[in-house]
């Protein structure tokens, strides 16, 4: 799903508002951030539990107000190893969104609201939360370049199947309970460097779950007022408890994660030529060089495309 690019001026504005926040809604421990941010998952705190915009009526009104393509839903029980991308089509049972909203608990429904920040009512709150994150992460990982948020509402016992995203995340539990299983993104047995190159180049599907991974899962039990940080591309699977659950995911990319992404794309190109490039993340200078070449290649590609278009 398309998120929102952040201009340098927009980031400066977000950062200064986040730093000036008199009543912060997020509690990120500075020492944990310093040691674990983008390396290991960790718990965070927040004060969104009683926020009026996260009660069910305003959330269902948001579902009805946003363009239909921003609301994904599925119903019933689904297996934990279902491919995430097709799960919404495969487990919809032909029901309409209105039916799902009216019989939410009865249908054992799950709704993902994509990009609530595009709604004027929700935008100030979500931008403010992003600003709070930026104020804390900027010294470690400066310049957010993109963000996208999601609200998940689950009647009960839902599973978000094993998958990995191409960004960082703070997942905040607002109502009900969730268990989030996360895997180490740097463990070659979970995801090798070729799989990461393909993931970030969007070649083929996402790396698949194997039963042997289960023993390596890190489990985080989330309650209202807690959340968990997902490092860049960390694989995860999420189970909700037996009661209605509401959570918010704040996902974002930074100058650093964009650089990793382009270095992975460079590697995928090299693999296409039959070469075996060094894994991304091993040498920062090499990753930067790969990123520069990949971006120069993209610019050249665009220029040639434009030239051909002009000549046609």
Closest distance between Fe ion and the C-beta of residue 236, in Å?
6
The answer to the question of residue 287 lying near Fe ion (CB under 5 A) is no
Query: How many residues in the shown chain lie near Fe ion by CB under 5 A?
Result: 1
Question: Which lies closer to Fe ion via its Cβ, residue 18 or residue 41?
Answer: 41
Question: Which lies closer to Fe ion via its Cβ, residue 133 or residue 135?
Answer: 133
Under 8 Å between Cβ of 33 and 137? yes
Q: Rounded to 5 degrees, what angle do the CA atoms 266, 165, 286 make?
A: 25
Under 8 Å between Cβ of 262 and 291? yes
Question: Which lies closer to Fe ion via its Cβ, residue 100 or residue 250?
Answer: 250
Closest distance between Fe ion and the C-beta of residue 25, in Å?
22
- Residues in region 163-182 near Fe ion by CB under 5 A: 165
Question: Which lies closer to Fe ion via its Cβ, residue 141 or residue 165?
Answer: 165
Stretch that binds Fe ion, among 13-21, 94-102, 113-121, 161-169 (CB under 5 A): 161-169
Closest distance between Fe ion and the C-beta of residue 47, in Å?
23
CA distance 300 to 244: 51
Stretch that binds Fe ion, among 15-23, 141-149, 158-166, 197-205 (CB under 5 A): 158-166
Stretch that binds Fe ion, among 66-74, 120-128, 129-137, 159-167 (CB under 5 A): 159-167
CA distance 183 to 93: 31
Ramachandran angles phi, psi of 281, nearest 5° = 100, -10
Question: Which lies closer to Fe ion via its Cβ, residue 153 or residue 294?
Answer: 153
Q: What Å distances lie between residue 306 and 130, 292, 294, CA to CA?
A: 36, 21, 18
Under 8 Å between Cβ of 182 and 209? no
Closest distance between Fe ion and the C-beta of residue 167, in Å?
9
Question: Which lies closer to Fe ion via its Cβ, residue 226 or residue 267?
Answer: 226
Question: Which lies closer to Fe ion via its Cβ, residue 11 or residue 150?
Answer: 150
- Residues in region 12-31 near Fe ion by CB under 5 A: none
CA distance 92 to 73: 7
Question: Which lies closer to Fe ion via its Cβ, residue 245 or residue 267?
Answer: 245
CA distance 126 to 104: 25
CA distance 71 to 82: 19
> Which tokens in the block code for residue 138?
């900027």
Closest distance between Fe ion and the C-beta of residue 143, in Å?
23
Stretch that binds Fe ion, among 157-165, 205-213, 217-225, 299-307 (CB under 5 A): 157-165
Closest distance between Fe ion and the C-beta of residue 171, in Å?
8
Closest distance between Fe ion and the C-beta of residue 198, in Å?
18
Under 8 Å between Cβ of 85 and 72? no
Closest distance between Fe ion and the C-beta of residue 6, in Å?
20
> DSSP states of 31-75 as a string?
HHHHHHTTTS--EEEE--TT-GGGSHHHHHHHHHHS-GGGEEEEE
Stretch that binds Fe ion, among 6-14, 96-104, 160-168, 283-291 (CB under 5 A): 160-168
Under 8 Å between Cβ of 284 and 255? no
Kind plus residue range of the DSSP H or E element containing 72: strand 71-75
- Residues in region 189-228 near Fe ion by CB under 5 A: none
Residues that bind Fe ion (CB under 5 A): 165
């Amino acid at each position: 799903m398309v998120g929102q690019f952040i201009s340098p001026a927009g980031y400066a504005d977000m950062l200064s508002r986040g730093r000036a926040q008199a009543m912060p809604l997020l509690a990120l421990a500075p020492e944990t951030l310093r040691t674990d941010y983008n390396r290991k998952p960790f718990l965070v705190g927040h004060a969104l539990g009683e926020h009026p915009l996260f009660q069910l009526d305003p959330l269902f009104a948001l579902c009805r107000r946003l363009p239909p393509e921003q609301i994904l839903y599925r119903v019933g029980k689904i297996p934990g190893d279902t491919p995430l991308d097709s799960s919404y089509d495969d487990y919809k049972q032909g029901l309409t969104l209105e039916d799902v909203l009216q019989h939410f608990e009865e249908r054992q429904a799950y709704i993902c609201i994509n990009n609530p920040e595009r709604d004027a009512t929700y935008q100030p709150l979500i931008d403010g939360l992003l600003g709070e994150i930026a104020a804390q992460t900027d010294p470690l990982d400066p310049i957010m370049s993109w963000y996208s948020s999601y609200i998940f509402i689950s009647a009960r016992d839902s599973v978000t199947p094993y998958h990995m995203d191409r960004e960082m995340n703070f997942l905040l539990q607002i109502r009900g309970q969730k268990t989030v299983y996360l895997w180490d993104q740097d463990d070659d047995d979970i995801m090798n460097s070729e799989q990461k190159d393909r993931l970030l180049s969007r070649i083929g599907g996402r790396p698949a779950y194997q039963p042997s991974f289960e023993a390596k899962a890190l489990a985080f039990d989330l309650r209202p007022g807690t959340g968990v940080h997902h490092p860049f591309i960390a694989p995860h699977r999420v189970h909700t408890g037996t009661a209605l659950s509401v959570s918010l995911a704040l996902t974002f990319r930074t100058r650093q994660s964009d650089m990793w992404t382009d270095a992975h794309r460079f590697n995928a190109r090299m693999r296409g030529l039959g070469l075996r490039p060094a894994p991304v993340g091993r040498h920062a200078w090499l990753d930067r060089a790969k990123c520069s070449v990949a971006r120069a290649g993209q610019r050249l590609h665009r220029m040639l495309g434009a030239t051909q278009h002009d000549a046609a």
